[in-house]
Amino acid sequence: MSVKTTAAPCLLALAVLFGTAACGGGTPAAERSGNGPRPPAGEAARGGTLAILSNQDFSHLDPTRNWTMPEMDFGLRYLYRSLVTYKAEPGPASLQIVPDLATTVGEMSDGGRTWTFTLKEGLKYEDGSPIVAADVKYNVERSFAPELPGGPNYARLVLAGGEKYRGPYRDGSLKSIETPDEKTIVFHLDRPVAEFPYYATLPTFAPVPRARDTKAQYDNRVFSSGPYKIDTYDRGRQLVLSRNEHWDPATDPVRKALPDRVVVKQGLRQSVIVDRLIADQGEDRTAVTYADVNGESFAKILTNPKVRARFHNEIRGCTDTLAMNTAKAPFDNPKFRLALQYAIDKEAYQTVKGGPASGTVATAYLPPSLSGGVPQDTLKIPPTGDVAKAKALIAESGVATPVKVTLSASTGDKGAATAIQESLKRVGVETEISTFDPSVYYDTIGDTARFDGLALYGWCQDYPSGSSFIPMLFDGRTITDKGNSGNVSLFRDRETMDRIDGIRAMTDLKAADRAWVDLDAAIMRKTPMIPLLWLRKPLLTGSKVGGAFGHLIWSGQFDYATLGVGK
Amino acid sequence: MTRYLLRRLAAVAGVLLVICAVTFAVFYVLPSDPAAHACGKTCTPEQVALVRTQMGLDRPVYEQFGGYVAGIFTGRTLGDGPAALECSVPCFGYSYQNALPVWDLLTDRLPVSVSLALGAAVLWLAGGLAVGLVAALRRGTTLDRSLMAATLASASAPVYFTAMMLLLVLVQRLEWLPYPDYRPISEGPAAWAGNLLLPWMTLASLYAAMYARLTRASMIETMAEPYIRTARAKGLYERTVVTKHGLRSALTPIVTIFGMDLGGLLAGAVITEHVFGLPGVGQLTYDAIFKADQPVVLGVTLLAAFFITLANLGVDLVYAVIDPRVRYA
Amino acid sequence: MTTAAPREAAAAVAAPAVRGRSPGRIAYERLRRDPAALLGLAIVTVFVVTALAAPLLAGLNGWRPETFDKSAIDQALGGVPKGDFGGIGAEHWLGVEPGNGRDVFSRIVYGARVSLLIAVAATAVTVLAGTAVGLVAGYFGGRIDTVLSRIMDLVMSFPSLIFMLALLSIAPGTDRVLLLVLIMSMFSWPYVGRIVRGQTLSVRHREFVDAARVNGAMGPHILLREILPNIAAPILVYTTLAIPANIGTEAALSFLGVGVRPPTPSWGQMIDNGLLWYQVAPTYFMIPCVCLFLTVLAFTLLGDALRDALDPKGGGR
């Protein structure tokens, strides 16, 4: 999923994985340099009001449209339950899946083409009515409706007959989802998908009763199957949640549902939010930040032990990269691309982004969480670059310097783009920066006719496997003319594609993980992109907030299942 | 009087219609695809096409414009089939990104901006008039000079600078005021005012300074008029001369500017709301502009233009009260 | 708020400038004796010279405005400048920008260039367009006047800040400076237009105009040779007061994120960046704010003094 945006379409059309549905994910980075995972801090008790201070509105809370990283955390932990979910524990344990609405993480048959889930007893919506299998089916069907764009497309890509189906409003029921009784739901896929239980953690697999469906307006008033329901929602201003009295904790081993009320304040200025949490006065003691702590505030936090104790920065499972259009000169020259790996000063980029507290210099595409917790380093370039080597490589490549190129970045990344600009100047590459508003940025670089030169890009894992990373970024068959995402470098490499197919055919998920790491190293030498930073999620809590830890799946955001307010 | 008012109101409507047309033309001519923005980042071409039909972008511009204007008075249904969206009267368009009619968004945010503008206006009028009056009556003294120097400095400081300094001193250092966190007046006037005091002071410090300078200049000019001399010669108390004769006439230019300023602020003080994170119309505007949510931008532009033209009308009416020379033609 | 100064000016120069015996000399004498005017002039001169000599001054300092200096910042703490007062010292005279260590002095000096250039150019376009329209409307009167006046009223009814933001955020930007100049003047020319129209109306039937007409002078000649010189005073005052307003507008637009593009420095952009650092590295926030403040103050002092000096009723106000 692309960084900072809704997930990009993760083209799993070619995913043919066999094997068990066991969690085969990597373990998170074993970095303990003051960063890293740590146990939930503070004491949390039942009751009170938790305030979540945000600089933005949610883009979509409708479960069929929710595909933005921390928003999935919020929706799934507070408002709706999916068939399967991730554990609410800090560190590597958070990568493990457990049953949520279902009694198991799914039963496979027909060699991975059929998946069956059985719902638990005693599941209820906010009005006390029972949650039935047909409601899960209905919401999966909604994810096909063109009227409700934005959500995960995994179901669309794998369900049999999915390519023609256009949602329940136009085409009635989808035959490949069966609900033989109120408790059972069966998915028929058009190819084997061993990773299907991971898909079933997505909000697409949460229940929506047909009678409560308000189509596009459902975004504003979700009918709750989780521990909280929406009291009021003034978009861009405030969202208030109160307890769903019909949610039965006996059916839910994951969510603790500690506070009585959750208030999300939106549209605040991020630097003001951070200042308020640092000052820790009055009601702000029971508040947390929703968005990242801005890098400018790190100095205030890290130099004050009291505040530092309330600071969290879990790794995200994301890599910031510099993408190059490998289809056009001068970036069609592999030697020249490799030279730029040596030219970039990643440390300057890291500093502009906020220093070590906001990320670790990346030396591979896969974040350490996907390479067995060990950061990989193929080229062994110093973090500040190797200008002499870069110049030598450019001379070898035959590209005449000075050479003029353009660098696209979204407006918020002005500073970061300037850092790239400065480091490339050292080797005679003159960069012109053009910035785009975040709302149009990915459309612009996803348009193969318009994207030229360099672009700041990024990718996040969707679930703990290299298969949610390498094929998305480097499989030449996924490239589309418009709305291209993932492989924005337009990297078409026969050898890479063959190896992707080979790994996908592997049945041993552990061996597959190792093979992804090897492929990562091979692609580094061809350099379609330059990895820059493995990001962290810097967050701050008030002094009376307990149970806070960053969840590895939801890009290091607090796990809302355990957040609570102390006495 | 009624006929004059009706004629003026008709003119206001005409101005709004033209502004609406210009805004419409500008946003739909510029190279950006509102449908793609409205749809989101992971839209299929089919989904974009669907939104385009709903927004009516597949029809000629004049037809879109006609539909928009008619929708204000009659409401409208956007698109058809399962995707149809109801937008009831007054329909100022529909924000796809918020899944809400623009009117709902505006009415939700307006109380914040109105609270901000009115509170600040009270402060700056009181402060500006008082300082200006004192300076004018003590013209040439050290008091006058220092007051004028202070107002000049205050008016020259950028509003975000004033905002941050007030925040630093009053909130962070002295902890006299809370971080501004808008509370509706229904939650109690104290919480409402307490949270708005800082933004009020920020806006007021800028405007009060300008009003003080203006009041002083206007007052000095008026007090030199022959009729003031006459009033004094009649043996009236100086207090009566100043308030009844001087101030009343000196107020005329101030009323003009006050109307324009207030009109401009009612639809959102973008910078102040942005700096303090107040969820008013200004913040809505800022967000909508950067999310390319064009129906909202259009709605906000119209709202702002409405306040400005209405304020101008209000100014003309108030003139009649304070300045007996003004007659309706 | 950014249009306040011109409006103030408009109100104050509403009284027509009556012909004196030698109004220019009287004004000059008055200005020479006005300490506020001299102070304003001095500050303006300093900044104008700074802007013109930017490459020279930045050369003295030895730092290009876009060059990073990692040795001047603490990379472990998010790039806080090392040393007190934002890293002010012999190496970096006004300290460094947090996060990347760019030299604040060089950026201020080059930023003065961008900020002043945009403000002066926007003012020039505003005044030229406004004067032309105002002259035509006032001199020809009748239907032309009605149409032009309505257009001016209309443009003044536009919520200009919202419109400028919206236009700048979606306009395809190649030449950002030109775009800023055009869009900023698009909404301010009617303020000049109104003043000029009013002034033109008041002089067009004066004897010297009639005399010129009787002597066979044509429209353009009368407008440019007879009328324009006689209404130059309020235009001059407006111009002086519009410059600081435009400096403020440019800064506000940069502050809201639609100004010039990096790495071009402008004061507004520096303030926007600095705002986030105002507690950790307050000097980085303060320095561009103070520059902006001083420039606006100086132009306002100068404009006020000019207005008083040119005011025929004036003297010692």
B194 Cβ under 8 Å from any chain A Cβ: no
Q: What is the largest CA-CA distance in chain C?
A: 81
Contact B305 C301 (CB under 8 A): no
Pair (A415, A331) in one structural domain: yes
What separation in angstroms does the CA of A440 have from each of A62, A341, A454, B290, C163? 22, 28, 17, 9, 20
How many structural domains does chain C have? 1
Integer-rounded Cα Rg, in Å, for chain C is 23
Q: Flag whether pLDDT at A412 surpasses 80.
A: no
B181: which chain A residues are within 8 Å (Cβ-Cβ)?
265, 268
Same domain, B125 and B176: yes
Q: Among candidates B161, B52, A223, A54, which has minimal Cα distance to C282?
A: B161
Is residue A289 a part of any domain in this protein?
A: no
- Share the mean pLDDT of chain A: 85
Chain centroid to CA A329: how far?
Answer: 32
Mutation choice for B interface testing from C13, C158, C162 by most B CBs within 10 A: C162
DSSP A236: T
On whether both A399 and A524 belong to a single domain, the answer is: yes
Q: CA distances (Å), A332 to each of A531, B193, C216, in order?
A: 18, 62, 72
Angle C89-C92-C96 from CA coordinates, rounded to 5°: 110
* Domain assignment present for B53: yes
Question: In the predicted model, what is the mean pLDDT of residues A158-177?
Answer: 91
B222 found inside a domain: yes
Token pair 């505040």 is found at A307
| CB spacing of C157 vs B206 below 8 angstroms | no
The interface residues of chain A toward chain C in range 503-562, judged by CB-CB distance below 8 A, are none
Q: How far is A416 from chain C (nearest CA, A)?
A: 10
Q: Could you say which of B63, B91, B119 is where a domain stops?
A: B91
pLDDT band at A182 (very low <50, low <70, confident <90, very high): very high
| pLDDT higher than 70, residue C13 | no
- The reply to whether ipTM tops 0.90 is no
CA distance A207 to A17: 27
Q: Are residues A239 and A327 in the same domain?
A: no
User: How close is the nearest chain A Cα to the Cα of C80, in Å?
Assistant: 7
- Look at residues B50, B66, B91 and tell me which one is the last residue of a structural domain: B91
A337 and A375 part of one domain: yes
Each residue's pLDDT tens digit, C18-49: 445 566 777 777 788 888 889 999 999 999 99
Average pLDDT over residues A50-70: 88
Model confidence over A128-155: pLDDT tens digits?
999 999 999 999 999 998 888 778 878 8
Q: What is the pLDDT of residues C222-244, one digit of tens each?
A: 888 778 888 888 888 888 888 88
Strands (E), A437-552: 454-460, 529-540, 545-546
CATH code of the domain covering residue A369: 3.10.105.10
| Residue range A481-534, pLDDT digits in tens | 776 778 889 999 999 999 998 887 776 777 888 899 999 999 999 999 999 999
Nearest CA in chain A to B85: A216
Q: What is the DSSP string of C260-308?
A: SPTTS--HHHHHHHHHTTTTTSHHHHHHHHHHHHHHHHHHHHHHHHHHH
Mutate to test the interface with A, among B33, B37, B42 (most CBs of A within 10 A): B42
Residue type (1 letter), B225: E
pLDDT tens digits, C243-293: 888 988 998 888 888 888 767 788 888 888 888 888 888 888 999 999 999
Distance from CA of residue B84 to its chain's centroid? 34
Alpha-carbon Rg for chain A, nearest whole angstrom, is 23
Exposed (0-12), middle (13-18) or buried (19+): which is C201, by Cβ within 10 Å?
A: middle
A216–B99 CB contact, under 8 Å: yes
More confident residue, A56 or A42: A56
Residues A393 and A526 reside in one and the same domain: yes
Q: What are phi and psi of A489, to 5 degrees?
A: -75, -5
The DSSP bridge partners found for residue A459 are A2, A319
Mutate to test the interface with B, among A147, A154, A290, A450 (most CBs of B within 10 A): A147
**Residue in A with minimal Cα distance to B107:** A234
CB proximity A7 to B under 8 Å: yes
Q: Which of B91, B123, B149 is the last residue of a domain?
A: B91
pLDDT of residue B79: 72
Q: Which long-range contacts (CB under 8 A, 24 or more apart) does C72-75 make?
A: C72/C96, C72/C101, C73/A351, C73/C98, C73/C99, C73/C100, C73/C101, C74/A299, C75/A347, C75/A350, C75/A351, C75/A355, C75/A356
Q: What is the pLDDT of residues A241-265, one digit of tens each?
A: 999 999 999 999 999 999 999 999 9
Q: Are residues B57 and B119 in the same domain?
A: no
Q: C78 and A298: CB-CB below 8 Å?
A: yes
Q: Which residues contact C189 (CB under 8 A, 6 or more apart)?
A: C125, C126, C127, C129, C130, C133, C155
Is the minimum CB–CB distance between B191 and chain A shorter than 8 Å?
A: no
Q: pLDDT tens, C68-100?
A: 887 878 777 777 888 777 778 777 888 888 888
- Taking residues A277-304, what's their average pLDDT? 89
Determine the residue type at C246. N
How many structural domains are present in chain B?
2
Cβ separation C159–B27 shorter than 8 A? no
* Residue that the structure tokens 């459902």 belong to: A218
Please give the full DSSP string across A184-215, using - where no structure is assigned.
EEEEEBSS-BTTHHHHTTSGGGS---GGG--G
**B282 touches B269 (CB < 8 A):** yes
Neighbours of A337 (CB within 10 A): 22
- B77-118: pLDDT as tens digits: 877 767 677 888 888 888 877 888 899 999 989 999 999 999
Q: What are C285's two structure tokens? A: 């926030």
**Is residue A15 situated within a structural domain?**
no
Query: Given an 8 Å threshold on Cβ–Cβ distance, is B274 in contact with C256?
Result: yes
Chain C residue with minimal CA distance to A302? Answer: C77
Q: Do C79 and A351 touch (CB under 8 A)?
A: yes
Q: Looking at the domain assignment, is residue A305 inside a domain?
A: no
Burial class (CB within 10 angstroms; exposed 0-12, middle 13-18, buried 19+) of A305 = exposed
pLDDT tens for each residue of B247-293: 877 887 888 888 888 888 887 788 899 888 888 999 899 888 877 78
Q: Which two tokens stand for residue A406?
A: 């353009």
Q: What share of chain A is helix, strand, coil (3-state, %, to 5)?
A: 30, 20, 45
pLDDT (0 to 100) of residue A507: 66
Residue B158 in domain: yes
Contact between B93 and B297 under an 8 Å Cβ cutoff? The reply is no
Half-sphere exposure of C13 (CA within 13 A, CB side): 34
Residues B55 and B194 in one domain: no
- Listed by number, the residues of chain A in 429-458 with a beta carbon closer than 8 Å to a beta carbon of chain C are 433-435, 437
| Interface contact B31-C172, CB threshold 8 A | yes
Predicted confidence at residue C265, as pLDDT, reads 84
Residue B5 lies in a domain: no
Q: What is the CATH number of the domain that holds C238?
A: 1.10.3720.10
> What is the length of chain B?
329
Residues of chain C contacting A294 with CB distance shorter than 8 Å: 276
Q: Is the peptide bond before A253 cis (omega within 30 degrees of 0)?
A: no
According to DSSP, residue A481 is labeled S
Please write the tens of the pLDDT for every residue from A230-243: 999 988 889 999 99
B175 and B275 in a common domain: yes
A295 CB within 8 Å of a chain C CB: yes
Residue C297 lies in a domain: yes
Query: Do residues A269 and B277 make contact, with C-beta atoms less than 8 angstroms apart?
Result: yes
Whole-number pLDDT of residue B319: 74
**Residues B65 and B163 both lie in one domain:** no
Domain ranges, residue B47: 13-91
Q: Is residue C231 part of a domain?
A: yes
**A436 within some domain:** yes
Say if residues A458 and A529 touch (Cβ distance below 8 Å): no
Q: For the CA atoms of B246, B247, B253, B255, what is the dihedral angle to 10 degrees?
A: -150
Distance from CA of A170 to the nearest CA of C (A): 36
Chain A residues touching B47 at Cβ < 8 A? 146, 149
Residue B213 and residue B257 in one domain: yes
Buried b (16+ CB within 10 A) or exposed e, A211-239: ebbebbebbbbbbbbbbbbbeebbbbbbb
Cβ atoms of C277 and C73 within 8 Å: the answer is no
Percent of chain A with pLDDT over 70: 91
DSSP string, A21-65: -S--PPPPP---SS-S--PPBS--BS-SEEEEE-SS--S--STTT
> H-type helices in A90-220, by residue range?
133-142, 154-158, 168-171, 196-199
Show the domain range for A152: 35-263+541-565
Q: Is residue C106 part of a domain?
A: yes
Tell me, what DSSP letter sits at residue A409?
E
- The greatest distance separating any two alpha carbons of chain A, rounded to the nearest whole angstrom, comes to 72
CB contact under 8 Å between C79 and A433, yes or no, is no
A227 and A347, same domain (yes or no): no
**Distances in Å between the alpha carbon of A386 and those of A173, A403, A426, C242?**
59, 19, 10, 51
* A274 domain residue, yes or no: no
Place of tokens 């010292």: C89
The verdict on B111 and B216 lying in the same domain is: yes
| The two structure tokens encoding residue A250 | 């006996």
Claim to verify: residue B149 and residue B281 sit in the same structural domain: yes
Judgement on whether residues B236 and B128 belong to the same structural domain of the protein: yes
Residue B57 in any domain: the answer is: yes
Q: Are A228 and A128 in contact (CB under 8 A)?
A: no
Answer positive or negative: Cα dihedral of C232, C233, C236, C238. negative
Looking at residue A128, what is its pLDDT?
Answer: 95
pLDDT at A269: 82
Give a yes or no: residue B267 inside a domain.
yes
Polymer length of chain A: 567
Neighbours of chain A (3+ CB pairs under 8 A): B, C
SS (HEC) of C38-79: HHHHHHHHHHHHHHHCHHHHHHHHCCCCCCCCHHHEEHHHCC
**How far apart are alpha carbons C135 and C227 in whole angstroms?**
8
Outline where C159-281 has alpha helix (H). 160-170, 176-186, 189-203, 207-214, 219-221, 228-230, 232-255, 267-275
- Could you tell me if A52 and A152 lie in one domain? yes
Q: Give the residue-averaged pLDDT of C114-122.
A: 92
Residue A7 in any domain: the answer is: no
CA gap A67, A75 in Å, rounded? 10
Task: Determine the pLDDT at residue C313.
Answer: 58
Query: Does A296 sit within 8 Å of C78, measured CB to CB?
Result: yes
A376 lies in the same domain as A413? yes
Residue at C11 is within a domain? no
Q: Which of A296, A352, A435 sits opposite C276 (nearest CB)?
A: A296
Q: Is A235 on the interface with B (CB under 8 A)?
A: yes
Q: Which of A8-22, A439-453, C124-138 has the lowest mean pLDDT?
A: A8-22
Residue C277 lies in a domain: yes
Residues B150 and B188 in one domain: yes
Nearest CA to CA, how far is A355 from chain C (Å)? 5
- Any chain B CB within 8 A of the CB of A277? no
Length of chain C in terms of residues written: 317
- Whether A354 is covered by a domain: the verdict is yes
Q: Taking a C-beta distance cutoff of 8 angstroms, is the pair B50, B83 a contact?
A: yes
Q: Please state the three-class secondary structure of chain B as a single string.
A: CHHHHHHHHHHHHHHHHHHHHHHHHHHHHCCCCHHHHHHCCCCCHHHHHHHHHHHCCCCCHHHHHHHHHHHHHHCEEECCHHHCEEECCCCCCEECCCCEEHHHHHHHHHHHHHHHHHHHHHHHHHHHHHHHHHHHHCCCCHHHHHHHHHHHHHHHCCHHHHHHHHHHHHHHHCCCCCCCCCCCHHHCHHHHHHHHHHHHHHHHHHHHHHHHHHHHHHHHHHHCCHHHHHHHHCCCCHHHHHHHHHHHHHHHHHHHHHHHHHHHHHCCCHHHHHHHCCCCHHHHHHHHHHCCCHHHHHHHHHHHHHHHHHHHHHHHHHHHHHCCCCCCC
The enclosing H or E element of A109 equals: strand A107-109
What is the total count of domains within chain A? 2
Is residue B193 located within the same domain as residue B280?
A: yes
Is A501 in the same domain as A516? yes
- Token reading at C212: 């010129």
Contacts of A276 in chain B (CB under 8 A): 179
- The pLDDT score that the predictor gives to residue C9 is 42
Give me the CATH number covering residue B311: 1.10.3720.10
Interacting residues of B176 by C-beta distance below 8 A, sequence separation 6+: B170
- Mean pLDDT, rounded, for A55-59: 85
**Which comes out higher in pLDDT, residue A195 or C103?**
C103
Q: Which domain holds residue C259?
A: 28-310
Average pLDDT over residues A413-434: 89
